[in-house]
Structure 1
Amino acid sequence: MDDVTRQFRPVTDTILTLGATLVMGVIDADTFLKHGEVFVSAQTGNLIVGVIKLMEHGWQAAWTNGFVWIGYFLGCFIAQGLSEQVSARNPRRQMRWLLLIDVLAYALLASLQTTLPDSWLIFFLGTVAGYELTIFRQVGGIAINNGIMTGNTKAFATSFYRAVVNRDHQAGQRVIRVGAVLVTFLLGCAIGVRLANLAALDVLWVASGFKLILLGWLFLPVAMENP
């Protein structure tokens, strides 16, 4: 069998990004239903809900939405730093380390969810969300902002127009890829609602287990390119 390079196949990036999108849908649905109408990844919706709470009920009701925004910002900041510093010359090793951090973060939060104050749990979930959505953002070789479905809907609509009216093949490929992100996020939301209603404490453990499976994928030869 041929040796593999230090690069992952494009399909591996797609699997990791869609996996992150699915988990974000699950977590957002759970935190909205069980933690005071707060989103941890969908920051547009989170800020809108926060302002509505502020105007209708005061800062006591709204501050957690602002707190999770800070956590999300911190997660993006950390992810950018780690992506530039950790095994930057070896993408294969780098992605394994970055995903391992992701798995450990979810497992730690899952184990502490009954003891952490709710506001801090949401804050750290926001941090993990910012981290994930900064690291995992490639679908089919194109960059996707898998935390902002508003932008993805616009990209889907404009690409759909170019594909249908202008017969643009590349736009048609983008329709498929962006559509996959939208459907995956909605599926994650549906799963999150079901899990939140059935066993709220299991949501983070499910996320941890799913991320562990994705980490295992990164050690399979099929995930990597041949020279």
Structure 2
Amino acid sequence: MAVSLRNRPETVPVGLLLSAVGGFLDAYTYVGHGEVFANAQTGNVVLLGVGLVRGDVGGALRHLPPLLAFLVGLGAAESLARVPRRPPTPRPLRRPTRVVLAVEALVLALCAAVPLPDVVVTVAVAFVVALQVSTFKSVGDVPYNATVTTGNLRSLVAEIARWAGDRAPDAGRRAGVLGGIVLSFAAGAAVGAALTVTTGRYAAVVAAAAVVVVLVAIVVETRRRDRAQPDATAQ
């Protein structure tokens, strides 16, 4: 049976902020660290293949480490999801969402603080992005992906079609959420590119701060829910 790191949907503001972080990080690694994607592994696979065909083996192989790191991150997320959320598991590990966000914020802060080789940065970012994509999967009743936008675009068009063709009462709202997520991703990419050009590695501080904001919001929301429902599942 499939297990999940997080059983609760996100609020719209959290979903928008996570999507902006996703776009930001792809621009950050592409613009500032060797034209390699952190999130868009489809792009890395395509550029790997194109580079090999063109005989640019060195350029092609730049895209392999983040791809492998992404796979390792997905595996780590699956393992974390299977950790029992009760004693004797250490208390921090019973809150896997907080672990994921704390690790992501720490890694991004280190990327900003320490001058690291491009390959180290892209591997580190790809790993934490994989943790993020395995954790956050829905905004309310709307499934989404905070780190790539292709699936969100498909879902957006499907909801618009439902609204226009079937007059489904919830389709307009769902389309609005998905449209906001797509725009947030694009805005994050634009800001990430601009800040990376002007500030270099220090741009990662902005993404780290955004992740901390998400972490604080989730902690506050979890405590509110726990007061209202003491037996609620830990997040």
Instruction: Output the TM-score relative to the length of structure 2.
Output: 0.81
Counterpart of 1:68 in structure 2 is 66
Percent identity between matched residues is 26
RMSD of aligned alpha carbons: 2.7
How far apart, in 2, do the equivalents of 1:137 and 1:50 lie? 28
Counterpart of 1:59 in structure 2 is 57
Answering whether residue 45 of structure 2 is matched by residue 43 of structure 1, we say no
C-alpha deviations, 1:167-198, integer Å up to 9, x for none?
01233232122212111100101111110121
Counterpart of 1:31 in structure 2 is 29
| Residues 140 and 177 in structure 1, CA contact (< 8 A), matched pair in contact too | no
Counterpart of 1:131 in structure 2 is 131
| Residues 26 and 193 in structure 1, CA contact (< 8 A), matched pair in contact too | yes
| Residues 27 and 203 in structure 1, CA contact (< 8 A), matched pair in contact too | no
| Residues 21 and 185 in structure 1, CA contact (< 8 A), matched pair in contact too | yes
How far apart, in 2, do the equivalents of 1:183 and 1:88 lie? 39
C-alpha deviations, 1:137-157, integer Å up to 9, x for none?
221233212333222211111
Letter in 1 for 2:78: Q
How far apart, in 2, do the equivalents of 1:145 and 1:219 lie? 21
Counterpart of 1:3 in structure 2 is none
Rate the CA distance shift 1:137–1:207 in 2: closer, same or farther, 3 A.
same
Rate the CA distance shift 1:11–1:147 in 2: closer, same or farther, 3 A.
closer
Counterpart of 1:102 in structure 2 is 104
Counterpart of 2:17 in structure 1 is 19
> Which sections of structure 2, spanning at least 5 residues, go unmatched?
1-5, 230-235
Counterpart of 2:166 in structure 1 is 166
| Residues 137 and 143 in structure 1, CA contact (< 8 A), matched pair in contact too | yes
Report the Cα offset of residue 222 of structure 1.
8.2
In structure 1, the residue corresponding to 2:130 is in which secondary structure?
helix
Letter in 1 for 2:52: L
Report the Cα offset of residue 11 of structure 1.
4.6
Rate the CA distance shift 1:16–1:105 in 2: closer, same or farther, 3 A.
farther
> Which sections of structure 1, spanning at least 5 residues, go unmatched?
1-6
Rate the CA distance shift 1:18–1:88 in 2: closer, same or farther, 3 A.
farther
Report the Cα offset of residue 94 of structure 1.
3.5
Rate the CA distance shift 1:127–1:224 in 2: closer, same or farther, 3 A.
same
Rate the CA distance shift 1:117–1:168 in 2: closer, same or farther, 3 A.
same
Answering whether residue 187 of structure 2 is matched by residue 187 of structure 1, we say yes
How far apart, in 1, do the equivalents of 2:7 and 2:78 lie? 20
Report the Cα offset of residue 161 of structure 1.
0.7
How far apart, in 2, do the equivalents of 1:194 and 1:101 lie? 25
Letter in 2 for 1:46: N
Counterpart of 1:154 in structure 2 is 154
* More off after superposition, 174-183 vs 213-222: 213-222
Answering whether residue 79 of structure 2 is matched by residue 77 of structure 1, we say no
How far apart, in 1, do the equivalents of 2:223 and 2:7 lie? 6
